[in-house]
Amino acid sequence: MNDLDLDADLNAQDDDGLGWSRVADAHAPERVRPGAMLLAGNSQAQAVVRVVAIDDDGQVHFSILPGSVAKNRHLLDRTVA
């Protein structure tokens, strides 16, 4: 999917129950920051997520927003800071 901000397996969870991926898997790494709303997933599933934290090693932790991508698409910030 070309409109994904972050490639991620939405079923993968860290020890705290958050989703995770890596900054290296972001299509625009400069947009990946705590509090950012991104479109994450893969060809099988997508969701709007809120970045919770980024580790020093580049691991991104996020929470998946409830509801469909269509319902949450307005939350996506497509501007680059």
Task: Tell me, yes or no, whether 80 lies in a domain.
Answer: no
In angstroms, the CA 25 to CA 2 distance is 13
Task: Tell me, yes or no, whether 23 lies in a domain.
Answer: yes
Task: Tell me, yes or no, whether 1 lies in a domain.
Answer: no
Q: Which of 39, 69, 67, 68 is nearest to 51 (CA)?
A: 39
Comparing 45 with 3, which gets the higher pLDDT? 45
Please say if the pLDDT value at position 25 is more than 90: yes
Place of tokens 């927003």: 65
Task: Tell me, yes or no, whether 15 lies in a domain.
Answer: yes
Q: What is the pLDDT of residues 42-73, one digit of tens each?
A: 999 999 999 999 999 999 999 999 999 999 99
Task: Tell me, yes or no, whether 77 lies in a domain.
Answer: no
In angstroms, the CA 15 to CA 46 distance is 22
Percent of the chain with pLDDT over 70: 91
Task: Tell me, yes or no, whether 65 lies in a domain.
Answer: yes
Please say if the pLDDT value at position 80 is more than 90: no
Please say if the pLDDT value at position 22 is more than 70: yes
R_g over Cα of the chain: 11
In angstroms, the CA 57 to CA 66 distance is 28
Supply the CATH number for residue 52's domain.
2.40.10
Domain count, the chain: 1
